[in-house]
Structure 1
């Protein structure tokens, strides 16, 4: 008979027994001549963050590392547990969280390695004749960030460097497609054609292009800056997409009545539609930011707790029930398969695709809500409630007054409200 058959269990039930990781941990501690004092607590940490079968596998890997001839200091053990490649492996992630939280080891440079790999791939995508300038620009950005760190100012994040290098890569490919193999041959017409390809991103792409060509000119790679004299011409009002009332009603019905909708989709959709929550605010929503007594939650940098209506509170409870089924110690409300064993929020890529089944994006829902609020309330009050600056909220003000917004003057059947718009753009309100 197989060993587990003596317990009267089939193989599937044996694999799911919750005490298996602790039995494997006790056997490991008994086998080691000098077990570390933190080993028992680490086994409990791995058992709490993984299924019994996965936890047993990780404990087996940990035992092989502890049995080898290398030192078992937490920092050395963490370095040996890392796997080569883009993923450091579940064991290394679990060890890093455990050791860093207890001050036994320093965090690894895994995030920096991934960022360096992303920068390397963007530079390699630059056509070869234009690649040396992109390499030098990347080195300049890294040195500037290091100087900012030493000076105590705000250094550029990895995502900012990725955006800059991506723009330089796209510009280089655009220039090569126009038959130019040298940065010195780029003229204003090439830059205008590059900016016209993405009109909405014109201000940001022009800003990055200016920074790159200033760097190239200061290093004698070019003689004339082709971006001088160009204007960003950024729109001063809101030009994004909004939803009509009928579209909002259909989405509302979908998220509160369809049981097949994933709880994360309903959570992000309802909070964005009714409370103007951004995807970042929902990503970082933690359990300690939920107040069951007052039925309120803390969203991002908003100065006060956001009170929830009965529908929104039921969606939050549904998401909490879904989180309980995952047996995780992650402090965030939205926990995914990749984050349930750690303490990080859900990834940006995951949140950006949650609403794909509904055919909508969180930004459109948030913009629709903000436009509605700033046109029926004082914009400064809306900015204070959402933790935004008055300048940031003012772009959502409508520049066209709808027919039903202004009271009709008495004894004036033909009088119509006039538009305060100077450029003819319509309001973003549905």
Structure 2
């Protein structure tokens, strides 16, 4: 978009309704937004405008949600937008071209930048010196005052190497020209004054790059590939443990923290568990640890009666979950010689009677089908409703798992034949994926605008957004499919295990529910015949 004439009358942007002098029918922000996203119906204001593929909202709704986040004092990235997007009920209009940098220069973001034509720099070998002056003290560098005209040194050997590495990485990952330009600008900022032996820390580059709207993650990845990056952030698991074990007695806390880290990382003769398992276990034992901390200094003082009191303080599935977590904790403490006797050993758990699984109503299924209006949503719905795939399995699917020629798909290493419905939705999604992101190198079947430039799976919200808050969500659809198989082909656990690849306990539960449903239906038919 060109410059705006000084005598041009103000107008309203057709995208976000911003009022001011516009270069065309759109403001600069909406023009850039439209270049990066496709036109569809916004999930908030229902207008046919450019919407973000991750959430399905337009720029105006996302701006309103961002203002709500700032007003609430919440900090975070796009993952925090969705709860606020769902609460948008009105739109606060604003003036165009009012976002200016503090030092009075050009507007921040893509509107004020000059388009960079990134040319492959000449190949420069790594520095060959064998000695460099080590740092006497570690001092944080301030990149916030960087000015390209005064401070840029495009002949710096490390900068030349980094720009070539970024160019190669961008071609391999399918970066857009905007991402490549952002990474190039960020590398110029952090490496123009770089000397041999210096290490760039995350805490040094995050504030200046984020304030300029540049990608910190992609820049850090390029620096890390060159051995110039050090991640000095506090691991999230450390913050989580500190928060969960706050208020626990020091002796009990040491044992509980060692147990939690063994669950996460594994140990001698112990396999690492899933993060959700470790979080669930610690969540269950935390009330007991806080209660025991008022009386004891170490887990050695906990008696069997204390464990029984904790068990009897809850009911249902929570009672079973709490005893399982306490068994794991005391088993680890006994194994590592931190206690003399395991007070949680051989404590019976009265298991609750499992309810009979019920099939979904056809109206609920039709509602879910109507809600899945986009290609990725239809594919996810078909995988859950036809192949009983969990959301985590759907997110982990890769292109190599699909064999369209032989009409086969491998879900969690279990090969399934493709029915006509799934085959059609799969072909439709692959066509959309190829046209939307032709240069992506992400091997996963499902991708978004954000994951297309990387190699990771889509987020959890992306997989469940279409059927969220519906009666027929993905989990209910998966259960209904397996129950329908048991009702149609007989309550045979072996058949269910072979078809869906589930374990024997789950197959037995589905078979038992199907058997009870069939018996109830037969009794009702007999009762009607008698009358």
Q: TM-score, normalised by structure 2?
A: 0.58
1:287-306 alignment, distance < 5 Å: 287-302=399-414, 304-306=415-417
CA displacement, residues 221-247 of structure 1 (integer Å, 9 cap, x when unaligned): 9x993x466432335756556423442
Equivalent residue number for residue 169 of structure 2: 45
| Cα offset, 1:366, TM superposition | 1.0
What is the aligned counterpart of 1:136 among 220, 233, 255? Answer: 255
Call closer, same or farther: CA 1:294–1:112 in 2, change over 3 Å: farther
What is the aligned counterpart of 1:191 among 310, 319, 323? Answer: 310
Distance in 2, matches of 1:204 and 1:383, equals 26
Equivalent residue of 2:443, what SS?
coil
CA displacement, residues 336-359 of structure 1 (integer Å, 9 cap, x when unaligned): 354233111123354355521534
Equivalent residue number for residue 314 of structure 1: 424
| Cα offset, 1:4, TM superposition | 11
Higher helix share: 1
Equivalent residue of 1:195, what SS?
coil
CA displacement, residues 83-133 of structure 1 (integer Å, 9 cap, x when unaligned): 48xx9x974533566688xx8669987999222222222223xxx254651
Greater alpha carbon shift after TM alignment, 361-370 vs 384-393: 384-393
Call closer, same or farther: CA 1:216–1:296 in 2, change over 3 Å: closer
Distance in 1, matches of 2:355 and 2:228, equals 45
Matched residue pairs, number?
Answer: 382
| Cα offset, 1:370, TM superposition | 0.9
RMSD, aligned α-carbons: 4.7
| Cα offset, 1:63, TM superposition | 1.8
Residues 399 and 444 of structure 2 are in contact (CA less than 8 Å); yes or no, is this contact kept in structure 1?
Answer: yes
Equivalent residue number for residue 203 of structure 1: 320
What is the aligned counterpart of 1:94 among 211, 214, 218? Answer: 218
| Cα offset, 1:320, TM superposition | 3.3
Equivalent residue of 1:297, what SS?
strand
Equivalent residue number for residue 245 of structure 2: 123
| Cα offset, 1:369, TM superposition | 0.9
What is the aligned counterpart of 1:381 among 474, 495, 514? Answer: 495
CA displacement, residues 241-284 of structure 1 (integer Å, 9 cap, x when unaligned): 642344224433543xxxxx344433322221122111111101
* Match status 1:365 vs 2:488: no
| Cα offset, 1:396, TM superposition | 0.9
Equivalent residue number for residue 118 of structure 2: 24
Equivalent residue of 2:277, what SS?
helix
1:18-417 alignment, distance < 5 Å: 23-26=117-120, 31-34=154-157, 36=160, 39-40=163-164, 42-43=166-167, 45-46=169-170, 49-71=174-196, 76=199, 83=206, 91=215, 93-94=217-218, 113-124=235-246, 128=247, 130=249, 132-142=251-261, 148=267, 154-172=271-289, 175=291, 182=296, 184=302, 187=306, 190-196=309-315, 199-213=316-330, 219=338, 225=343, 227=344, 230-234=347-351, 239=356, 242-255=359-372, 261-302=373-414, 304-310=415-421, 312-323=422-433, 324-326=435-437, 328-348=440-460, 350-377=462-489, 378-397=492-511, 398=513, 399-400=515-516, 401-402=518-519, 414=530
What runs of 5+ residues in structure 1 fail to find an aligned partner?
256-260, 416-430
Distance in 2, matches of 1:230 and 1:90, equals 56
Distance in 1, matches of 2:231 and 2:309, equals 39
What runs of 5+ residues in structure 2 fail to find an aligned partner?
6-22, 37-113, 124-152
Q: TM-score, normalised by structure 1?
A: 0.69
| Cα offset, 1:146, TM superposition | 6.1
